[in-house]
Each structure stands twice: as structure tokens, then as C-alpha cells.
Amino acid sequence: MQPWHPAERSAILASAMGLTVLELEIANPARPAVTERVDLLIDSGAIYSVVPAAILARLGIEPLVEQQFRLANGAKITRKKGGAVFKRGDRVGVADVIFGEEADSALLGATTLEALGLSLDPIRRELEPLPLILAAV
């Protein structure tokens, strides 16, 4: 594994356990210039991204709805959901975001990756550009 340097904050970090973490900027769609940087664990099995509620509150992002989710162990939980701007370099996307509670991991889910035009190669654990296709009628 190559050494990671703090100056390369947009780099993907891969640990020996195969976990991939990516730093993104998150913003309120109403004020996209005001951002906070957050390290998110890429979870290819998660639909939505989970960001600590305190960060979303500082950005002025308010929940729109509460939804029930099922955890891998079968347990059901309820979390608040809203919308956020996600940025990585010149890539910008808007996606649903779950308001993470204290024990929740900060996760980067599939809809956010797609909104950024990225996909995760599950074998090499590397991000790749997602072919963006519009259907012709």
C-alpha cells in the first residue's frame, strides 16, 4: 500500500481490510459555496450516503422525511433524510443524504457515487468514471 499524505486529501485510502474511504465536500443546495470536508467509507451495498447530523445541521441542511431502514443484521431503524450537494474535485452531484446518529458510520452510498458520475471497481477498490448515458428517443 502506498503512503498517504495529508496534502492529498482527495486521495482514496485503502486499508489492509479492503475498506475504501474518500474525502468529499458536502454543501447545502441553497448555499453550495459553503462546504465541509467529510471522510466517507465507500459502501457499495448502501443506497444512500450517511453523514453525521451535526455536520448537516451546521450546513443548514434540514431533514425532509423520516424513513425506516433495515440493517445487515435484520434490525430496523428510523433515520431522517434530506438532500445535499456532494463535491470531489470538478465533480458535483446532488443526492439524498441520511442524517447519521452518534453510533452510525459515515458512508458513501451508490446514489451519491452515481450523482458524481463515479463507480467503484469492487476488485481493485478504485473509483472509475461512470459512463453517463442518456437514452435517445
Looking at residue 82, which CATH number applies to its domain? 2.40.70.10
- Structural domain count, the chain: 1
| Cα 7 from chain centre | 21
pLDDT score for 10: 37
Q: The domain containing residue 83 runs over which residues? A: 13-129
Q: Which runs of E-coded beta strand occur in the chain?
A: 13-14, 20-28, 31-42, 49-52, 65-70, 76-88, 91-100, 107-108, 118-121, 126-129
pLDDT tens, residue order, the chain (137 aa):
333 333 333 344 444 445 788 999 999 999 999 999 999 999 878 999 999 999 999 999 999 999 999 988 999 999 999 999 999 999 999 999 999 999 999 999 999 999 999 988 878 878 889 887 887 77
Closest CA to 22 of 136, 102, 115, 120: 120
